[in-house]
Amino acid sequence: MTAGFPDQALCHQALCHQCQPGKVYLVGAGPGDPGLFTLKGKTLLECADVVIYDALVSPPILAMVNSQAEKINAGKRRGAHSILQPDITQLLIAKAQAHAVVVRLKGGDPFVFGRGGEEMAGLVKAGVDVEVIPGITAGVAAPAYAGIPITHRSYSSSVTFVTGHEAAGKYRPEINWSAIAQGSETIVIYMGIHNLPHIVEQLLTAGLSDQTPVALVRWGTRPDQEELIGTLATIVAQIEATAFKAPAIAVIGSVVNLHRLLASCRPRSM
Ligand SMILES: C[S@@+](CC[C@H](N)C(=O)[O-])C[C@H]1O[C@@H](n2cnc3c(N)ncnc32)[C@H](O)[C@@H]1O
């Protein structure tokens, strides 16, 4: 167990596990700006024995981990897995058997396209005590930092969060793009850059106008945030022309037009 805990209720609660099997905290790190990280998450990093973190956790948040904690990079980026998912769950189980406070730190929110549900289920089945600490998801924060409210009384009363990921060309997710196009005024796509040509085609086939506005927000809420604004007709060519890369959130719908008015007063990263 590490020394120098802040005198806070959560750490006391975590310390109570010292003589018992450990506990795993699935902590959402948020999208990158450390100012958006929860107080609960920060407190746990200050008293963790082990922190197992993903690739999208930002450096300022990793810097909050106490110096005596064991830090393990389980980072996964497209096509490159540092540790395979079943092995991550096994690692969490093993660490919880040996340490009191084990933090599983994930970008955004653990339960939003973060496999937090799978890991939590694996831990519960193994009899490991586990708790989730939500984080701010990129699909809300990245558009906000680009001056795009994902709902607005005049433009959008519904929003769908959807993954655009397909695994190394082997399969397409069975996402009903037609139903999404017809049923949701704002579409927020995670992991969609690589597959965007296919997604755009599906949305046009489903009847969306090619003038529907699209925003891509890369590294949202971080100091190096980048945006690309276009329409369904132009966005694929814009990606090619600018070599725009993941990780990015795509926002599709008329709320994107608010970017012109609101982007000038967007927040700054801490
Ligand atoms: C595996 S998902 C994890 C999502 C995460 N659990 C969340 O709630 O934000 C990874 C994808 O989230 C999106 N993403 C995560 N952080 C981002 C950021 N700071 N800016 C833009 N997109 C981000 C990208 O689409 C990225 O490919």
Residue 20: is it exposed, middle or buried by C-beta count within 10 angstroms (0-12/13-18/19+)? exposed
C-alpha of residue 249 to centroid of ligand 1, in Å: 7
| Tokens at 124, concatenated | 């519960």
Q: Using an 8 Å Cβ cutoff, are 175 and 192 in contact?
A: no
Residue 269: per-residue pLDDT: 83
Whether residue 21 has a cis bond before it, omega within 30° of 0? no
The ligand 1 atom nearest the CA atom of 32: 19
From edge to edge, which strands make up the β-sheet containing 129-133? 70-73, 50-53, 101-106, 23-28, 129-133
Q: What is the pTM of this model?
A: 0.91
- DSSP letter assigned to residue 30: B
Residue with CA at minimum distance from ligand 1 atom 5: 108
Tell me where in the chain the CATH 3.40.1010.10 domain(s) lie.
9-136
pLDDT tens, position by position, 91-140: 999 999 999 999 999 999 999 999 999 999 999 999 999 999 999 999 99
Q: Give the pLDDT confidence of 56-102 residue by residue, as tens digits.
A: 999 999 999 999 999 999 985 555 567 888 899 999 999 999 999 99
Which atom from ligand 1 is nearest to the alpha carbon of 106?
A: 6
Tell me the CATH class for 139-263.
alpha beta
- Within 6 A (CB) of ligand 1 lie 31-32, 56, 106-109, 112-114, 137-138, 142, 190-191, 217-222, 246-249
Helix (H) or strand (E) holding 217: strand 213-218
Quick one: CATH architecture of 9-136? 3-Layer(aba) Sandwich (3.40)
Q: How far apart are CA 88 and CA 90, in angstroms?
A: 5
Domain with CATH 3.30.950.10 in the chain: 139-263
For ligand 1, the distance from its centroid to the CA atom of residue 216, given in whole angstroms, is: 12
What is the set of active-site residues? 54, 76, 191
Predicted confidence (pLDDT) per residue in 199-249, tens digit: 999 999 999 999 999 999 999 999 999 999 999 999 999 999 999 999 999
- Evaluate if residue 266 carries a pLDDT over 90: no
Ligand 1, atom 7: closest residue by C-alpha: 108
